[in-house]
Structure 1
Amino acid sequence: MTAYVALLRAVNVGGTGALAMAELRRLCEAAGFAAVRTYIASGNVVFTSPLDAATVKRRLEEALQVSTGRQVSVAVRTAAELAAALAANPFADAPPSTTVLHFLDAPPQADTLERAVAPDGERLALGAREIYVAYGAGMGRSRLKLPSAAEGTARNVNTVAKLVAMTAEVSAA
């Protein structure tokens, strides 16, 4: 069994993507995932499955479509991939609450940094399938334009660290 984390895009943000975490757990269990746990009401779910990541992603997105009536994008990482993304954070000197990983399905495009507009001094770096952003004054005040992140979903370093710990717990169970 592989431990996975699924990061749902636009769930419980601004009231437009409301999905109770109990319902998300139920959907994951009905899709055949085990040891299902959610973390905060923003679409973070940890579980185990014998399936490969592409099948996990497809199954969860299909279950969400049926349940919510809309397409919900999901970024899926194995426990090892998530831990590696956290370890690769190039902004360890920045506050974890204002440093964000934008999770993508594919590696960021080579021109991602050139196309970004960071008027508030945000620092950016590319990862394997992530874009790292140190927001400095915070994401809420930022006027950062990051076109490459439009299809992804973001989590701050504190959340990613908690999810890494949770994947380690379900792996050990």
Structure 2
Amino acid sequence: MSIYIAFLRSVNVGGTGKLPMSDLARMCRDIGFEDVQTYIASGNVIFSTDMTPEGARVSLEARLYEYCGKTIRVHIRTPKEISQIVQTNPFPKAAGNQIGVLLLDGPPDLSAPLNGQQDEQVVAGAREIYAHYPSGIGRSKLVLPGTSTGTTRNMNTLVKMLGLAHKLA
């Protein structure tokens, strides 16, 4: 069995996509995932399964569509991948709640100028974009490429999910 961490896009953020985490956990168990744990109400779930990451993603997205009647994007990472994201954080001295990590399906493209950039610093990763928001994420007007399909978590959440994954291992 492999351990995976799933991050749902646009769930319980800004009054959109209401999804109780108890329902998410039940859906995961119905699919056959084991050791299911959710963390905070923004669509973070850890589980173990014999499925591939792609199979788990497809299964969870299909179940979410049945539940919500609309597509909810799911980004799945292994604990090793989350560990790599945390270890290669280009802003190690910044507070974890001031670092947003946009999780993407593929390599990011930062070739075009960024809209709304003020004091934020932005760095591309393998399948993510790191952004340091010194004035706070909530005050930023920065628009990163991939926000329409990716999902952002702050560094504190990624570290917490990694800790939960290590407890399952």
Given the two structures, how large is their TM-score scaled by the length of structure 1? Answer: 0.94
Structure 1 position 161, deviation (Å):
0.3
Aligned twin of 1:72: 72
Aligned twin of 1:42: 42
Residues 104 and 96 (structure 1), Cα distance of their counterparts in 2 relative to 1, 3 Å cut: same
Aligned twin of 2:85: 85
Q: Deviations over 1:115-163 (max 9, x none)?
A: 3235321001011111000011111111112133331000001000000
Kindly indicate whether the alpha-carbon contact (under 8 Å) linking 1:108 and 1:129 is maintained by their aligned counterparts in 2: yes
Aligned twin of 2:158: 160
Aligned twin of 1:53: 53
Amino acid at match of 2:162: V
- How many percent of aligned residue pairs carry the same amino acid? 40
Aligned twin of 2:139: 141
| Cα distance in 1, alignment partners of residues 98 and 136 from structure 2 | 5
CA RMSD of aligned residues (A): 1.1
Kindly indicate whether the alpha-carbon contact (under 8 Å) linking 1:101 and 1:132 is maintained by their aligned counterparts in 2: yes
Secondary structure in 1 matching 2:28: helix
Structure 1 position 4, deviation (Å):
0.5
Q: Which runs of 5+ in 2 are unaligned?
A: none
Aligned twin of 1:16: 16
Kindly indicate whether the alpha-carbon contact (under 8 Å) linking 1:101 and 1:131 is maintained by their aligned counterparts in 2: yes
Structure 1 position 170, deviation (Å):
1.4
Kindly indicate whether the alpha-carbon contact (under 8 Å) linking 2:108 and 2:145 is maintained by their aligned counterparts in 1: no
| Cα distance in 1, alignment partners of residues 48 and 42 from structure 2 | 20
| Cα distance in 1, alignment partners of residues 134 and 74 from structure 2 | 27
Given the two structures, how large is their TM-score scaled by the length of structure 2? Answer: 0.96
Structure 1 position 113, deviation (Å):
5.0
| Cα distance in 1, alignment partners of residues 91 and 64 from structure 2 | 34
Q: Where do 4+ consecutive residues of structure 1 move more than 2 Å?
A: 147-150
Amino acid at match of 2:130: Y
Q: Which runs of 5+ in 1 are unaligned?
A: none
| Cα distance in 2, alignment partners of residues 58 and 158 from structure 1 | 27
Kindly indicate whether the alpha-carbon contact (under 8 Å) linking 2:119 and 2:135 is maintained by their aligned counterparts in 1: no
Q: 122, 125, 128: which one pairs with 2:126?
A: 128
The count of residues paired between Structure 1 and Structure 2 equals: 169
